[in-house]
Amino acid sequence: MVARFASILAAYSILVASPSVPGASATAEERSLTIAAAANMSDALEEIKSAYAAKHAVKLVYSFGASGSLAQQIRHGAPFDLLLSADVRTVAKLLEEGWILPGTAKIYARGQLVLWTEESTHVRLNTLEDVLQPAIERIAIAHPATAPYGRAAVEALEAAGLWDRVKDKIIYAENVNQAQQYAATRNTDVAFIPLALVRRAPGRFVRVDGKLHVPIDQALGVVRNSVHHAEAKEFAEFLLSEQGRVILKKFGYTLP
């Protein structure tokens, strides 16, 4: 499925020329960029903001959430300039529907799923199968209907033959940030979160084998209704540049 959506992105990027949009250029006073970003990108984007500000006179405004929720906001006219999704199919679907500017959809990173617990708990994590231990009574997962990392967590548990044994322990969160918050505040014993978020709080984690779920390739696209196309494209180029990739790698992302 991922390959199919990736091919859609490639086809649009190569075959469709970006149309000119009246009023797309902004004056110096208007040089700001509103970025709808998957919650897993929150920590990395704060560091990227500092690096970007050193070279570009553009104010970056972030709106974080689950990828599916952000897509719905775009469909309802939210004033976003750029979408950084945690998957490919959300961007591909918006592209097909005409919400993403043709030629701008690109894969920018691949994420890593981990099982995480707060440092002071008595839970010990060595393998994914540790979710079966009696000490784990509640497991936080970002809702798979809207959050790609939540979807990957369910896929991994199913592939490992664990889902039916733990499904009654699952507590659904709005996004991965909330899932981690549940575990950090001991409202759950563990949480499935991106590797990118483990740096923010003391804890222990185990990586989930990527072979157990669809690769978490993350795509971006410029929102077609934006009046800041030039600024959005410029930021996307920075994210895909060597400097941007160094920062993404620091937070556990790899290239697909």
Q: Do both 32 and 101 map to the same domain? A: yes
17: DSSP letter: P
Which residue range forms the structural domain that includes residue 130? Answer: 112-212
Q: 177: domain CATH number?
A: 3.40.190.10
Indicate the SS3 state at residue 199: helix
pLDDT single digits (tens) 213-248 = 999 999 999 999 999 999 999 999 999 999 999 999
Q: Do both 100 and 121 map to the same domain? A: no
The confidence score (pLDDT) of residue 162 equals 98
Q: Do both 44 and 97 map to the same domain? A: yes
pLDDT single digits (tens) 116-158 = 999 988 899 999 999 999 999 999 999 999 999 999 999 999 9
How are strands ordered across the β-sheet holding 59-65? 59-65, 32-38, 82-84, 216-222, 106-111
Residue 185 lies in a domain: yes
**What is the enclosing helix (H) or strand (E) of 179?**
helix 176-184
